[in-house]
Structure 1
Amino acid sequence: MTDLSQALAPARPRLAGRLKLALCIFALMAAVPPLAHALGEPFLIVVATRMMVFAIAALSLDLILGYGAMVSFGHAAYLGFGAYAVAVLSRAGIDDLFLHLLAGIAASAVFAALTGAISLRTRGVYFIMITLAFGQMAFFFFVSFSTLGGDDGVALTARSTVLGMPLLQGAQGMFYVTLALLVLVFAGLYRLTLSRFGRVLTGTRESALRMQAIGFRPFPYQLTAYVIAGCLCSIAGVLLANQAIYVSPAYMSWHRSGEMIVMLVLGGIGSLTGAMVGGLVTIALEEGLARYSEHWRLGFGLILVLVALFSPGGLSGLLRRLGLGRDAT
C-alpha cells in the first residue's frame, strides 16, 4: 500500500525541474526564427515547426502509454483524423483553423470512445493488436476515399485561416501558432497529470487491482484518458496538414504509430518533458541524418540502441544522470 500511496501523491520536488526544463525548451524553440534568419537558413523554421507538431503527438501518446500503461499501435489514426478534417472542411469552403481543430477533435473523440470502450476490455498484447486493427481500419477507409485522392492523398489549396486572418500562410506565422499550441497542450497535460484524475490514472498503471481495492474503477479513467489522448493527437494532425499543405493516409499508418512510440522511448516514457524532447529530437535527427545519407535509418537505429542500453530512462534520464534538469520528469 505504501507504493500505491507514493504513486497517488504528486511528487512536488520533481515539478520545479520539470517546468524549468520545459520552459528552457520553449525559449529555445522561440529563438529559432530569428536565429534561422541570422544564419540565412529559413528552412530551419519549417523543420522546427515539424518537430513541434510531432512533439504534440508524442505528448498525447505519453498520456496513455506513459501514465496509463496502454500501448496503442493505432494512435496515428488520430493524426489522420485531424489532417483529413482540414482537407474535408477546406473543400467545403470552411478555412478557419478553430473549426478545423473542432472537427478533428470531435471525430477523434467519437472514434476513440467507440474503439477504446472495446479495446480496454483487453490487456497486454491483445490490447496492442486490437488498437492496431482499429488503426488500420481507419487507414484503409481513407485509402479507399477516392474523392480525397485515395492512397495518393490530396494537396491543400491553402493553409487554414485564424479568425479570417492568413496567419499560417507564412512559415514564421505557422511556427509561432504551432509553438503556442505546444505550450497549451503541455500545460494542459501538466495540470491533468497533477490532478486527482492523473494520480488515479498513474495508480492504475502501477496496480489496477489495488486501485479497485480502494474503491476506484480503472475503466472510466482509462477510457477518458484514451479519448483525451486521441483528441490532442488530432491537433497535431491539423497542424501537420497545414505545415505540409498536403494530406495522406500515410499519416495514420501503423508505422507512424510505431515512430511515436520510438519518440517516447528516446525521450523517456512517462515523462511529459521526455515525450516533448523525444518528439523534437527524433524529427531533428531524421532531418539531419537524411542530409548525409539515404541510409539514415541505420544511424538513427544505432542511436536508439545506445540510448536504450545506457540510458533506460531516455534522454530525460540521461539529463538527470548528468545533473542537468534534475528531476525533470
Structure 2
Amino acid sequence: MSPLAPAPAVPRPRAGIGQTAALMALLAAALALAYGLGSSYGAGLVTRTAILALAAVSLSFLIGQAGLVSFGHAAPLGIGAYAVLIAGEYDMTNILAVLPLAFGAAALFALATGAIALRTRGVYFIMITLAFAQMVFYVAASLSAFGGDDGMAIAARSTFFGARILKPDLHLALLAIALLAAAALGLEHLAASRYGLMLRAGRENETKLEALGLDPYRHRLIAISVAGGIAGVAGALLANQVEYVSPSTMNWHLSGELIVMVVLGGSRRLGGAVIGAMVVVLLDEALGRFTEHWKLGLGLVILGAVLFRGAEVRALLGKFSHG
C-alpha cells in the first residue's frame, strides 16, 4: 500500500472494563461458593482458571492490539515458574521479590527474542516464536541441578516476610484473581491510550505509520515485553499452586491452548480471554470425568473455534504479513 494512500480507520477498543469487572466478580463468586462448601478442589479449579486467564489476557493483548500471534507464549510463563524454583533454592521466597523477579526474567526473555522475531512477518513470526520457546524448553530440560527433564518440587509456597500466607488455597486464589483483575484493567487502559492507538495503527497500515515518522517496531517490542512479563507472573502463580516446576510448562501444547482461549473469547476484547480460559478449563475438567477420551471433545471445541472465529486471527496475520 502506498504511503500516500489514505489510512484505514483504526478501530477503537471496545469498552471492556465493565465486562472485566463482571468476570472477576464471577470468579470471586465461584471461589466463595467453593470455599463455603469446603471444597479445596473447587478453589484449586478457580485458581487454575485465573492463572491461565492471566496468561491468555497477555496473549490477547498481543493478538488483538498488535496483530502478533505468538506460538511461544508458554516460554515466558515457564520462565516465571522457574524463577520461583531457582529463587527458592537461594532462600528468596518473599512474594514481593518473587513476582517482580518472575516478571523481569520473562520480560527480558521476551524483549531479547522479540527483537529478533519482529524482523519477520506472518507465519514466519509464529514459527520463530515457537522455535525460541522450544529452545528454552530444551535448556530447562538440561538443568540437572533443578530436576532436568523430570522437573523439581519447590520447597514451599512463597511467603510474605516469612509468613506463609499463600499456604491456604483460598489465599492463593484471591491473589490470582486480584492480579488477573489488575492486569486486565491495566491492559484495557493501555489499549485505550495513545500507545494502544499506535499499536492498532501499525497493525492496520504499518507503511503509513512509518511515513508519519513513527516506529511501529519499538511499540511492538514494548508490547511483547509487557505481555511476556505478565505471562511470567502467571507462571510464578502456577508454580505456587502445583508446588512443582518442570520443562513441560514451556511446551508448545500450552502455547496452543492459550491461543485457543483467546480465539474462543475473541481477541478484540481482553475480557474474552478470561471467558475462553473458563471454557477450556471447565471443559477439560468436565469431559475428564466422563470419558478417558476427553481430548476428543476438547478437539471438537477447538475445531469449532477455528471454523467460527479463525477468520479473525487469519485477518490479523494477513495485515501483519504486509510491509
Say yes or no: TM over 0.5.
Answer: yes
2:41 to 40, 43, 49: 43
State the AA in 1 paired with 2:146. L
State the AA in 2 paired with 1:281. V
CA distance in 2, matches of 1:145, 1:50: 26
Q: Give the aligned partner of residue 203 of structure 2.
A: 205
Q: Give the aligned partner of residue 281 of structure 2.
A: 283
2:100 to 96, 99, 102: 102
What are the residue-to-residue correspondences of 1:116-127 with 2, within 5 Å?
Answer: 116-127=114-125
CA distance in 2, matches of 1:194, 1:256: 29
State the AA in 1 paired with 2:234. A
> Conserved in 2, the CA contact under 8 Å of 1:269 and 1:313?
no
CA distance in 2, matches of 1:199, 1:290: 42
1:90 to 85, 88, 91: 88
Q: Give the aligned partner of residue 173 of structure 1.
A: 171
Q: What's the offset of the Cα at 1:56?
A: 0.3
Provide structure 2 residue ranges, at least 5 long, that are not aligned to the other structure.
313-323
Q: Give the aligned partner of residue 60 of structure 1.
A: 58
Question: Could you list the runs of 4 or more consecutive aligned residues of structure 1 that deviate by over 6 angstroms after TM superposition?
Answer: none
CA distance in 2, matches of 1:181, 1:154: 25
Query: In the TM superposition, what whole-angstrom CA distance separates every residue of 1:261-287 from its partner, at most 9, and x where no partner exists?
Result: 111111112320111211222112111
CA distance in 2, matches of 1:310, 1:66: 17
Provide structure 1 residue ranges, at least 5 long, that are not aligned to the other structure.
315-329
**Secondary structure of 2:71's aligned partner:** coil
**TM-score after normalising by structure 1:** 0.89
1:20 to 18, 24, 37: 18
**155-164 vs 76-85, which moves further:** 155-164
**Secondary structure of 2:68's aligned partner:** coil
Q: Give the aligned partner of residue 231 of structure 1.
A: 229
Q: What's the offset of the Cα at 1:204?
A: 1.1
Q: What's the offset of the Cα at 1:143?
A: 0.1
2:154 to 156, 159, 168: 156
CA distance in 1, matches of 2:39, 2:179: 24
Query: In the TM superposition, what whole-angstrom CA distance separates every residue of 1:263-320 from its partner, at most 9, and x where no partner exists?
Result: 1111112320111211222112111211111211111122233344456689xxxxxx
State the AA in 2 paired with 1:287. E
CA distance in 2, matches of 1:35, 1:111: 39
Q: What's the offset of the Cα at 1:5?
A: 3.9
CA distance in 1, matches of 2:26, 2:50: 12
**Secondary structure of 2:166's aligned partner:** coil
Q: What's the offset of the Cα at 1:19?
A: 2.2
**98-107 vs 226-235, which moves further:** 98-107
1:182 to 180, 183, 188: 180
**Secondary structure of 2:44's aligned partner:** helix
> Conserved in 1, the CA contact under 8 Å of 2:57 and 2:270?
yes
Q: Give the aligned partner of residue 256 of structure 2.
A: 258
With over 3 angstroms needed to count, the CA separation of the structure-2 counterparts of 1:281 and 1:208, relative to structure 1, is same
CA distance in 2, matches of 1:296, 1:255: 16
**Secondary structure of 2:167's aligned partner:** coil
> Conserved in 2, the CA contact under 8 Å of 1:21 and 1:273?
yes
Question: What is the number of residues matched between the two proteins?
Answer: 308
Q: Give the aligned partner of residue 316 of structure 2.
A: none
State the AA in 2 paired with 1:43. Y
